[in-house]
Every structure is written in structure tokens, then in C-alpha cells.
Amino acid sequence: MLEQIQAELVDRLLRHIDDGTTDIAHETVEWSIDAYRDADIHQRELDTIFRHSPVIVAHVGQLQSPGDYVADDVYGIPYLVVRQASGEIRGFVNLCRHRGTRLADVGSRKAVAEGFTCPWHGWRYGLSGDLCGIPDQQRGFPDIDTENRGLLPLYTEVRHGFVWLTPESVGTRTVADHLGPLDHEFAAVGMENYTFYEQSRAATRFNWKLGIEAFLETYHFRWLHPAMKKYVFAPDLSLVDRLGDHVRLVAPKKSVLDNRALQQQDRRIREHATIAYVIFPSTVLFLEKRHITVMSMRPAGPESCDVHFLHIVEEDTLGRRAYWDDNIGKFMEAAAEDFGVLELAQDGMGRAGRMLIPGYETVLFGRNEHGLRFFRDSVDAALQARIET
Ligand code: FES
Ligand SMILES: [Fe+2]
């Protein structure tokens, strides 16, 4: 994160502390609950927003040698990203071109030098996705063009130490273009030098937007996360900025006051806050003092999403496993608290096949929750832009 931006953020925080204020909007707003449960809206979001947006699927530390791969699903599409013999990382649809069985097991594996063999009839594919072996081909498939039966490619790019994937074969824009102003901020962090720590996922029962919104306000800290009292400066103090389609939220820790003793240009926020970047549409990157957590909320339906976590840590601290287990464990405990109430909120909004609650058509975003409004404005603008083009 750029030093000048860090110093500016500290100044804003110190001014708020002196004045007893926080970043705030002019008014509260009401939003329809349809966006959290309507199947047509959900389909439109998939087709217009998610199809063209890159999502983080791995850290380069997981894919160091040829044949190292990570396989999982995004919006129902099974993918596979694999390090090539050439050093490049490429992504494919993880489905056999014979009759569509998933090829590589979900998870990550090291050095699969021999490529991938389908568990059903044994078709074989190389690391570059080419079809290189069909059992009993002469008798069964003498007439197919094997060159055109390789694994289907997915647009894949490495940037800032992460592997980004788009569920389309040819990217409509680069990751740098997608990140816009964040690209510059991320470059200064040096995330490519971090070490992969852990990856996990959870199946949840709430709309992806509800999920993202939980990480765009600190208003709920006091009630839902009492354990945070020890290190959060004050639950009602945060900075929220819209940066292109993305949002940055800064939640200071008590130690932010240490900056008072420093010259303006020497002030830093990185050590003294949790900085959450909502990367449009549904990834949150949490920049902590010595580690980074990436959380991607991948919609599975209008009322459900698969949440994927990826943790990376500063290289020289990897040996402190107990420290990280404790640190990351606390984060995951707080996330579990969030997910608990999100599922209750989704229940309140109604699920498919259930009667709607009369009179309950909207939710409120407070003046102190304006990060939510920034985010929803980006979603609406993206849906609108695609409708108009
Ligand atoms: S489905 Fe893969 S070999 Fe038949
Ligand atoms: Fe929370």
C-alpha cells in the first residue's frame, strides 16, 4: 500500500478521533429485498457481472513446479489451474471432453507430471490440456479430431501473486483494468512475496451481496463480535472509500494513536488497522499487519454461496505456525459469527417456495453503513451498463 495513501488515511482517522466523528452518508436509504432472493436478478448478475469478472483462485505459492494444480468450482463451473512445463499458469474447464466427468479431484496437488487421466474411461490429457491418449481409440473413436478435443481453456492471469480466473475462454479485459485504482495500491504491498498458508471453503445459505455487505460496515462489531473489543479502536470509527467499482474500508486498531508521535509523512496505517478491499464483484481482500486473507463469495444460487478463503503470510514468519493458527483462527471465528446472522437475515427475506412476509419489502442502510451503498451502486451500474450495450 502506497506510503502517501497510508499517511493520508491516518490523518483522516486522527481528525475523526479528535472531532468524535466518522465517515458518514447524508441520509439513510431503503433497498428492496428482491435483490437478495429473486431468481431472474440472480441469473442477470451471473450473465452480466460474474461472467466477465476475474476471481482469485490460488496464490502462486501453491503452484511452484510444473504439474502443481488447484481445482475447484466457480458459479458451477469446475476449473483447474496448472503450472505448465514452460512456467506459465493456465486454466481449464475441469471436465473430460468424452462425456463430461470431472477430471482432476477438487483440491490442490503437487507435480502431476503425467497430466490428468479421466476416472471413467481413461482418456488422458497433458498439462497443457491437449488430449494425448484414448484407450482403444482405433475401434471406438477412429474418426474424431483429437486436436480439437483438448480441455476447454479459461482466461487465466497471474497478478500481484495471485492466480485470477474468468469463466470465459478469452478475457474481455485484463486484471489490471478490472482492478483500476486498486492495481496501484496492491502493487505496493508485494503480495507475490508472501507464502501460501491455507485454503478452505464453506457452503452458506445467504445471497452473495448480503455476504459482501457484512464486511462493509463496522456498526455490527459491538454486538456481534464482542471479542474484537480488545484490539478494535472503536466500532463506530471507520473510513470508507469508493475506488472505481471497488470499496476500501479501514477499521483502525487502538495502536493507530501511536502515529500521533510521528511526522505526517512517516505515519502508517498498515500496522494499525484491518483494511478490507471489496474487489468487485464478490472478493474481499483483508490486509492485516503480517498476513492477508482473500475471501471470495461465489454465488451458488439466489440464496446461497460458496465462500472460499485463502490465507497468505509474510515469508519470514511462516515458522510460527501456532501464532498463525491463533490469528487466522480468530478471523474465522468472527466470519462464522457473521455467517450465522447472515443466514438468519436470508431466512427473514424468504426462501424459494416460502410465503413472503406481508409488509417486509425493504431493508435499511444507515448513514454509518454507506459502504453498502457504494457497493450496491457498483452492482446496479454494472447490470445497467450491460443491459444498455
Ligand atoms: S468421460 Fe472421461 S473418459 Fe469417458
Ligand atoms: Fe463481522
Residues with CB under 5 A from ligand 2 (ion): 338
CA distance 237 to 227: 17
Ligand nearest to the CA of 100: 1
Any atom of ligand 1 within 6 Å of the Cβ of 57: no
pLDDT (0 to 100) of residue 134: 98
Decide whether any atom of ligand 1 lies within 6 Å of the 102 Cβ: no
CA distance 284 to 211: 10
Q: What is the pLDDT of residues 7-48, one digit of tens each?
A: 999 999 999 999 999 999 999 999 999 999 999 999 999 999
Ligand nearest, relative to CA of residue 136: 1
Ligand 1 atom, smallest distance to 118 CA:
2
Instruction: State whether the beta carbon of 121 lies less than 6 angstroms from ligand 1.
Output: yes
Distance 358 CA to ligand 1 centre (A): 51
pLDDT score, position 249: 97
Q: Is 120 in the pocket of ligand 1 (CB under 6 A)?
A: yes
Whole-number Å distance, alpha carbon 59 to ligand 1 midpoint, is: 30
- The reported pLDDT for the residue numbered 1 is 67
User: Which pLDDT belongs to residue 109?
Assistant: 86
By the 8 A CB rule, do 92 and 131 touch? no
Q: Separation of 55 CA from ligand 1 center, angstroms?
A: 28
pLDDT in tens, 105-127: 998 888 788 899 999 999 999 99
Judge whether residue 355 has pLDDT over 80: no
Check residue 28 and give left, alpha or beta (phi > 0: left; psi -120 to 50: alpha).
beta
Q: Which of 116, 121, 125, 137 to mutate to test the pocket of ligand 1 (most atoms within 8 A of CB)?
A: 121
* Pocket-testing residue among 95, 98, 117, 125, ligand 1, by greatest number of atoms within 8 A of Cβ: 98
Residue 121 Cα: closest atom of ligand 1: 3
Q: For the chain, which domains are there?
A: 3-36+181-388 (3.90.380.10), 55-166 (2.102.10.10)
pLDDT at 302: 95
Task: Give me ligand 1 centre to Cα 137, in Å.
Answer: 12
pLDDT classification of 387: cutoffs 50, 70, 90:
low
Q: Which residue has the higher pLDDT, 85 or 322?
A: 85
Q: Ligand 1: distance of its center to the CA of 96 in Å?
A: 6
Look up residue 53 and give its amino acid.
Answer: S
Look at residue 341 in the predicted model and tell me its pLDDT: 97
Query: Which residue shows C-alpha cell 470499496?
Result: 247
Q: Determine whether the shortest distance from the Cβ of 99 to ligand 1 is under 6 A.
A: yes
What is the Å distance from ligand 1's center to 201 Cα?
Answer: 28
pLDDT in tens, 277-300: 999 999 999 999 889 999 999 999
Per-residue pLDDT at 219 exceeds 60: yes
- Write the residue with the smallest CA distance to atom 4 of ligand 1: 121
Mutate to test the pocket of ligand 1, among 97, 118, 125, 146 (most ligand atoms within 8 A of CB): 118
State residue 108's pLDDT score. 86
- Protein residue closest via CA to atom 3 of ligand 1: 121
Q: Quote the CA–CA distance of 94 and 105 in Å, as a whole number.
A: 9
Pocket test for ligand 1, best of 92, 99, 116 (most atoms within 8 A of CB): 99
Looking at the CA of 211, name the nearest ligand.
2
The residue nearest atom 1 of ligand 1, judged by CA position, is 99
Cα separation, 198 vs 196, in Å, equals: 6
Q: Output the pLDDT for position 326.
A: 87
Looking at the CA of 123, name the nearest ligand.
1
101 in ligand 1 pocket by Cβ < 6 Å? yes
pLDDT at 213: 97
Confidence band of 324 (pLDDT split at 50, 70, 90) = confident
Reply yes or no on whether the pLDDT at 92 is more than 80: yes
Three-state SS letters, the chain = CCHHHHHHHHHHHHHHHHHCCCCCCCCCEEEEHHHHCCHHHHHHHHHHCHHHCCEEEEEHHHCCCCCCEEEEEECCEEEEEEECCCCCEEEEECECCCCCCECCCCEEECCCCCCEECCCCCCEECCCCCEEECCCHHHHCCCCCHHHCCCCEEEEEEECCEEEEECCCCCCCCHHHHHCHHHHHHHCCCHHHCEEEEEEEEEECCCHHHHHHCCCCCCCHHHHCHHHHHCECCCCCCEEEEECCEEEEEEEEHHHHHHHHCCHHHCCCHHHEEEEEEECCCEEEEECCCEEEEEEEEEEECCEEEEEEEEEECHHHCCCHHHHHHHHHHHHHHHHHHHHHHHHHHHHHCCCCCCCCCCCCEEEECHHHHHHHHHHHHHHHHHHHHHHC
Is the pLDDT at 388 greater than 70, yes or no?
Answer: no
Q: How far apart are CA 4 and CA 138, in angstroms?
A: 66
Q: Which ligand is nearest to the CA of 118?
A: 1
- Lowest mean pLDDT of 72-76, 231-235, 279-283, name the range: 231-235
252-273 pLDDT, tens digit each:
998 898 888 888 888 889 989 9
Q: What is the pLDDT of residue 233?
A: 75
Q: What tens digit of pLDDT does each residue of 152-210 get?
A: 999 999 999 999 999 998 888 999 999 999 999 999 999 999 999 999 999 999 999 99
